[in-house]
Amino acid sequence: MHNAACRALGLDATYLALRVPAAALSTVLQALAATGGAGNVTVPHKEAVERSIARKTDVCGRTGACNTFWAEDGVLVGDNTDVAGVRAALAALGVDGGRWLVIGTGGSARAVAVAAADAGAVLWVRSRHPDRARVFADWARRLGVRAEVAHGPVEADAAVNATPLGLGEHDPLPIEPKDLRGVRVALDLVYARGGTRWICGLRERGQGLIAGDGREVLVQQGAAAFTRFFPGVAAPVEVMRAAVERALRA
C-alpha cells in the first residue's frame, strides 16, 4: 500500500516490514529516531510504543496506543491513525453513533473506544477475561464514553472485532452470530485474503446485516499515516486501496 503510493507520487522512499521482539523495541525506536525513520506499529507493540516515544498527539495520548510514528528533530512523534480508520470504515458501513459492541481490550479496542467517544456512541465491552473488560470499561468512561461490560448477548447497532482472532486460519470466532442481537453492521479489524471466517459467515447468514473486514480501516489509517510521513503531500487513497485489494484478492 505505502510502496504503491510512493511509486505513484515518485517519492524516494521504501516501506519495509520489520519484526521486532519486545526486548529490542527500545533499541529499534532509538535507531529510527536517530536516522529520521517513520513507520507503523502493529500487534503486540502499540501500547508499549506509546509509553516509549518522546512526543505524541492528543489522539495517541487519549488511546494510550501508538500505531504511527515519525521523527522530528531527532525524536519520535507518535499518533494513532487507527481512530480515523475505524470512524471512516464504520461511516462507510452506515454507522455514526448509536450502540457499539467492541470485542477485545487491546490497542485496537482502545482506538474503537476513542472513536466511540468522538461519535457519541454507547460502548459495550466484551472480553474472554471479565477483569480486563471491567478495567477497559472504567478507562473508556474516563474518556467520556458511556461504557459497560457485556455479560452475554447485548442489543447493539454495530459490532467490532478488535481482537487478533481471525489472523490464524483455525482461530475461533470472536463472537458467535447468535450473540449479535439487533446488530446491523459488523466490522472486523482483521483482514485476510477472501475475508475473515467471521465476516464470511455473517455474510452467508444474510438477514440484512452488513459486514466488512479490516481492509477499509487499513486503507484509511494508512492514508492518514502517509500524511504524517510526508507532510503537505496528499495520500493517493485510490492507489492505496487498489494495492490492498490486489494483495487480499481471493
Lookup: cell for 250: 481471493
The one catalytic residue among 45, 46, 110, 184: 46
* Rama region for 195: left / alpha / beta (φ>0; ψ in -120 to 50; rest): left
Q: 172 preceded by cis ω (within 30°)?
A: no
Is 46 an annotated catalytic residue? Answer: yes
Q: What is the largest CA-CA distance in the chain?
A: 54
Lookup: cell for 206: 444474510
Sheet with strand 38-40: strands edge to edge:
38-40, 68-72, 75-79, 55-56
Burial track 158-171 (b if 16+ CB lie within 10 A, e otherwise): bbbbbbbbbeeeee
Q: 130 preceded by cis ω (within 30°)?
A: no
Cα 184 to Cα 94: distance, rounded to the nearest angstrom: 9
| Residues with catalytic roles | 46
